[in-house]
Amino acid sequence: MPRLRLAVLASGRGSNLASLLAASREGRMDADVVLVLSDKPDAPALALAHEAGVETVAVPAAGLAREEHEARLSRAIAAARVDLVALAGYMRILGRAFLDAHRGRLVNIHPSLLPAFPGLDAQKRAHARGVRIAGCTTHFVTEDVDAGPILAQAALAVDPRWSAEELRARILTLEHELYPYSIQLLASNAARLEGGRVLVDQAAALLRGSAP
């Protein structure tokens, strides 16, 4: 089966990008990161991609209308003959034209068990509510923020003594497993979008951790 050509959009640190690069290199994912794009020219994620020998494109949003900004991203994605676009800490809401251009080929990772805690600071809000089960979700991206069809989820049992920071770190470690796993579901054709849901041919939940 041909390997999936992946573009990653990241605005910041890039730890999820690093996990995708490692999974690809180590043969855990039949996909290659062929392009990394950012709206922040100084994003650590871009430096990381550069070091890994991956093509990088920075498109700062300042002074550009959203349509023009996203059209530039789409042009770079088209030129790299990308099969799937993965958001990994990309901090801008995407507009209709971009979503239409990449519909069904655009995924995101979110640090909560959706539909709980969509939006910013999900881990902090989950901690403040005292949740006993936390986790992360990969999903297709649609107009509704963090509400597209769910691809896979990973959960962990929460020790109520953990600080918000500890919970955030534990979820992030889980994200680093879930994202390559989710992309492998697509690369191996084990998952597909149908009627607004993702159908999977195999168990698509990762369960980790143990209660205190």
Catalytic residue IDs = 110
Q: How would you classify the pairing of strands 31-38 and 4-9?
A: parallel
**Site for ligand GRF (CB under 6 A): how many residues?**
13
Q: Interacting stretch for ligand GRF, rule CB under 6 A, among 25-33, 107-115, 156-164, 193-201?
A: 107-115
Q: Tell me if 164 contacts ligand GRF by CB under 6 A.
A: no
Q: Tell me if 148 contacts ligand GRF by CB under 6 A.
A: no
Phi and psi at residue 141, in whole multiples of 5°?
Answer: -95, 130
Residue from 64, 164, 172, 193 binding ligand GRF (CB under 6 A)? 172
CA-only gyration radius of the chain, Å: 17
Closest distance to ligand GRF from the beta carbon of 136 (Å): 6
What burial class does residue 189 get, using C-beta atoms within 10 Å of its C-beta: 0-12 exposed, 13-18 middle, 19+ buried? exposed
Alpha-carbon distances, residue 93 vs 11, 33, 35, 46 (angstroms): 12, 22, 20, 20
Q: Interacting stretch for ligand GRF, rule CB under 6 A, among 61-69, 74-82, 109-117, 186-194?
A: 109-117
Q: Tell me if 170 contacts ligand GRF by CB under 6 A.
A: no
CA distance 43 to 77: 19
Pair 150, 137: CB distance under 8 Å: yes
State the CB neighbour count (10 A cutoff) for residue 149: 18
**Which parts of 37-76 interact with ligand GRF (CB under 6 A)?**
none
- Binding string, 70-99, against ligand GRF, x = CB under 6 A? ------------------xx----------
Contact residues for ligand GRF, defined by CB under 6 A: 10, 12-16, 88-89, 109-111, 172, 175
